[in-house]
Amino acid sequence: MLLQLKEVFLNDGKSLDVNYSLSMSEFDINGDYPFKSPVEISASAVNRASLVELTVKAVFDYTTRCDRCFEDLVKHYEFTFTHGLAVKLIDDENDDYIETPDYTLELDEVVISDIILNLPSKVLCKDDCKGVCSKCGKNLNYGDCGCNKTEVDSRLEILKQLIDD
């Protein structure tokens, strides 16, 4: 969505509010397409004493698998992002502001990058997820698998002999 911000930049106290749905279904994250439904966006650009601030709220469901037990899960997220807007940046290294040289801003690009950067690197079905058995692959959240846990890896057998002596 292209925001036309000229009126906001040129008038103290002026604001622009937008609400819309953004489809991110084509985004591949770790071999999966986790955005099954659109992201609901609420954005507001406000000029306060000639400083324009953009606040974006993104609400969405994220469909993925648990990183420990591989069970399918849906996580609900609500992210809020705030950015300063400037018509021209003096320093190209300035990450505090987003440049809007022609008083326009492609909001979708900002929202997508904010969402991707704020997604957790590891998603668990629950905080105490036990994962799967390394031998038989059973989901340990549903109970013990019965595999022998005292068996020593053959590569480490020599160390066990040292301890036993």
**C-alpha dihedral, 112 to 115 to 120 to 125, nearest 10°:** -100
Q: Where residue 40 falls among pLDDT bands split at 50, 70, 90?
A: very high
- Tell me what pLDDT residue 57 has: 97
Query: Strands across the sheet with 39-48, in order?
Result: 15-22, 39-48, 51-65, 72-86, 97-99
Stretch (H or E) spanning 22? strand 15-22
Of 8-12, 22-26, 83-87, 132-136, which has the strongest mean pLDDT?
Answer: 22-26
Proportion of the chain above pLDDT 90, given as a percent: 50
- Tell me what pLDDT residue 12 has: 87
User: For residue 39, what are its two tokens?
Assistant: 């992201």
Pairing status of strand 72-86 against strand 2-4: unpaired
Give the CA angle between residues 7, 13, 15 to the nearest 5°: 55
- Tell me what pLDDT residue 86 has: 84
Q: Where residue 73 falls among pLDDT bands split at 50, 70, 90?
A: very high
Residue for token digits 């469901």?
Answer: 61
Q: Name residue 70's amino acid.
A: F
Q: Is the pLDDT of residue 149 over 80?
A: no
- Tell me what pLDDT residue 94 has: 64
HSE on the CB side for 79, CA within 13 Å?
21
Q: Is the pLDDT of residue 163 over 90?
A: no
Instruction: Look at 62 and 137; give whichever has higher pLDDT.
Output: 62
List pLDDT tens digits, range 87-133: 887 766 667 788 888 888 999 999 999 999 999 989 999 999 999 98
- Tell me what pLDDT residue 37 has: 94
- Tell me what pLDDT residue 152 has: 66
Closest CA to 119 of 78, 149, 160, 162: 78
